Structure 1
Amino acid sequence: MDEEKERREKRRPADDFAWQEYDREEFERMFPALARELEEGEGLEIDAYRVSPEEGEELAEPRSFAGYNPTIIDFLRRCETDDEALEIINWMESRGEITPEIAKELRITLAKKGVRAFGPKKEWGWYEKHGR
């Protein structure tokens, strides 16, 4: 009894998602540009990288956020927990702010990597601190 209760407590809502696998032809039909990029294999040269997201935030050039419309990622970066992030994804999808396909990809990322996969947490005053 205790073992089953413990198992249920360890599960996250994202554990119940259905994972999608594609065969090659289906993938090429659904994502032609991505399939072409993968086939060409030219890639993108990476000449620098950041060790931590915080370091990248500090090095980023300040910008003006006047008229800026936050994205789903901006909202997810405000979340404390995976459950909060899942609630935001579901809400944005139900309002039509994001497509079901984008919502699915975000849920998969959330399930596999957690809420911090979307970037470091944005605390109160983030835009004032990072803006011009």
Structure 2
Amino acid sequence: MRYDKEWFKRVFPNLAKEVLEGGGVTDPLRGFTPGPVDFIRRARSVREAEEVIDYLERVGEIGRDEAESLRRKLREEGLESFGSRKGPGYYFKYAAGVEE
């Protein structure tokens, strides 16, 4: 079924403007997949970070070498070496452009 552009503009004026003029809002997190460090940055303690690494290794998200590298960094440099903690609502605030 084909529709012409004028019909589309008449029936869906706001959607037509967004689609045809490119005025839509882009999602800054589109296509983003959190990695091991993103999950570790949610941990509240070294023990929680160790549990995250163990889990990711157990389910096959990371290999043994990467898990050992993350554990070594955690032991030698501490939890803070992965970056500041990502608290509740971090990604909502990030997408909205709100600084923490």
For the aligned pair, the TM-score class normalised by the smaller chain equals 0.5 to 0.7
- Structure 1 segments, 4+ long, off by >2 Å, are none
Supply the distance in 2 between the matched residues of 1:117 and 1:127 (Cα, whole angstroms): 20
Asked if 1:125 corresponds to 2:89, the answer is yes
Identify the residue that residue 84 of structure 1 maps to in structure 2. 48
TM-score by length of 1: 0.50
5+ residue gaps, structure 1: 1-62
What is the CA RMSD across the aligned residues, in angstroms? 1.3
Supply the distance in 2 between the matched residues of 1:83 and 1:123 (Cα, whole angstroms): 17
Deviation per CA, 1:74-102: give whole Å up to 9, x if none. 10000010000000001100111001000
Supply the distance in 2 between the matched residues of 1:72 and 1:103 (Cα, whole angstroms): 9
Q: Read off the aligned partner of 1:101 and give its amino acid letter.
A: D
Deviation per CA, 1:14-35: give whole Å up to 9, x if none. xxxxxxxxxxxxxxxxxxxxxx
Shift of 1:66: 2.4
Q: Read off the aligned partner of 1:119 and give its amino acid letter.
A: G
Supply the distance in 1 between the matched residues of 2:79 and 2:48 (Cα, whole angstroms): 9
Instruction: Give the greater-gyration-radius structure (CA).
Output: 2
5+ residue gaps, structure 2: 1-26
Classify the secondary structure of the residue corresponding to 1:67: coil
Q: Read off the aligned partner of 1:96 and give its amino acid letter.
A: G
Provide the identity percentage.
Answer: 36
1:94-113 matches, within 5 Å, as 94-113=58-77
Supply the distance in 1 between the matched residues of 2:54 and 2:92 (Cα, whole angstroms): 28
